[in-house]
């Protein structure tokens, strides 16, 4: 056996949320491994920064921003632009999300709907519009779930986020079933606590950090690239026998 084929040479990979921590890490890593990356984010400044970093790493990223993927028209335009630019879509990595957190007795309806729009709808829209391209040559869908889709937590009051990530786990399994006959693989990644601008302030507070990390076997936050590395493997042909599964990248939190 030779080296595992962890390369994405010539593959057209759509990554959502390339302005953020994990999306940025994935854009750079995937481009370094030969992918043509088409990114997008609602935050133009952050997304442009990622395009620069990918170029500095010697890769190619075509970045669109601002794109609000919670709006089906904008999601469709982004997907269609990518397909007409490169003629194919091999991988869709649904990474972008935004959520509102509040205790169950206080969360209001608008916050619930915001979270569903920005954590579930956008995954459905992007995948739905990319599907006709993915089934042409048997592509890959990678969805970002969370440990929050697997278990409750004391770390934050987050019923809408937990419900949304549970939906992502279920959606992924059904996509795998419906995609199998076309050679489409669908998988999800469930990160634990990953360092990001949103989590950093809490991680710097010892009490909050202790609650967030809980009983995790590796007592630190993960880095965005540690999630991107899993996504790279799943996107590559090295994962050709894998579909319908979820992959925890959580420092062993769900093992305890």
Ligand X SMILES: NC(=O)c1ccc[n+]([C@@H]2O[C@H](COP(=O)([O-])OP(=O)(O)OC[C@H]3O[C@@H](n4cnc5c(N)ncnc54)[C@H](O)[C@@H]3O)[C@@H](O)[C@H]2O)c1
Spell out the alpha helix ranges (H) of the chain. Answer: 21-32, 44-56, 72-86, 109-116, 122-137, 159-179, 200-204, 206-213, 224-235
| Chosen residue from 51, 95, 153, 188 binding ligand X by CB under 6 A | 95
3-state DSSP of 16-59:
ECCCCHHHHHHHHHHHHCCCEEEEECCCHHHHHHHHHHHHHCCC
CB 40 within 8 A of CB 18: yes
- How many chain residues are in contact with ligand X, going by CB under 6 A? 30
The smaller minimum CB distance to ligand X, of residues 179 and 192, is found at 192
CB 28 within 8 A of CB 57: yes
139 binds ligand X (CB under 6 A): no
The smaller minimum CB distance to ligand X, of residues 179 and 224, is found at 224
Cα separation, 76 vs 178, in Å, equals 21
Q: How far is the CB of 164 from ligand X (least distance, A)?
A: 8
The smaller minimum CB distance to ligand X, of residues 137 and 217, is found at 217
Cα separation, 157 vs 49, in Å, equals 32
Looking at 39-47, 124-132, 171-179, 237-245, which segment touches ligand X (CB under 6 A)? 39-47
DSSP annotation of 8: -
211 binds ligand X (CB under 6 A): no
Cα separation, 112 vs 106, in Å, equals 11
Could you tell me which of 226, 139, 119 has the C-alpha nearest to residue 186?
139
| Chosen residue from 8, 11, 13, 41 binding ligand X by CB under 6 A | 41
188 binds ligand X (CB under 6 A): no
| Chosen residue from 12, 13, 19, 231 binding ligand X by CB under 6 A | 19
156 binds ligand X (CB under 6 A): no
| Chosen residue from 20, 39, 63, 139 binding ligand X by CB under 6 A | 20
Looking at 62-70, 108-116, 201-209, 232-240, which segment touches ligand X (CB under 6 A)? 62-70
What residue ranges bind ligand X (CB under 6 A)? Answer: 17, 19-23, 41-43, 46, 67-70, 95-98, 118, 122, 144, 146, 191, 193-194, 196-199, 224
């Amino acid at each position: 056996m030779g080296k595992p084929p962890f390369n994405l040479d010539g593959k057209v990979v759509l990554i959502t949320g390339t302005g953020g921590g994990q999306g940025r890490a994935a854009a750079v890593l995937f481009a370094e491994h030969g992918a043509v990356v088409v990114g997008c984010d609602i935050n133009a400044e952050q997304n442009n920064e990622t395009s620069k970093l990918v170029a500095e790493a010697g890769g190619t990223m075509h970045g669109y921003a601002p794109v609000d993927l919670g709006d089906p028209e904008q999601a469709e335009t982004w997907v269609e632009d990518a397909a007409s630019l490169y003629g194919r879509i091999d991988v869709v990595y649904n990474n972008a999300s935004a959520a509102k957190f509040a205790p169950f007795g206080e969360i209001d309806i608008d916050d619930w709907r915001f979270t569903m729009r920005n954590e579930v709808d956008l995954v459905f829209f992007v995948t739905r519009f990319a599907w006709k391209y993915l089934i042409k040559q048997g592509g890959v869908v990678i969805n970002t779930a969370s440990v929050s889709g697997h278990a409750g937590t004391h770390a934050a009051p987050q019923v809408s986020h937990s419900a949304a990530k549970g939906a992502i786990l279920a959606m992924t399994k059904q996509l795998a079933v419906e995609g199998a006959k076309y050679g489409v693989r669908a998988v999800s990644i469930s990160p634990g606590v990953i360092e990001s601008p949103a989590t950093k302030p809490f991680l710097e507070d010892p009490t909050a950090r202790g609650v967030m990390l809980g009983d995790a076997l590796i007592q630190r936050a993960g880095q965005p690239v540690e999630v991107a590395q899993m996504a790279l493997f799943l996107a590559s042909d090295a994962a050709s026998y894998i579909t319908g599964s979820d992959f925890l990248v959580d420092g062993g939190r769900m093992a305890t």
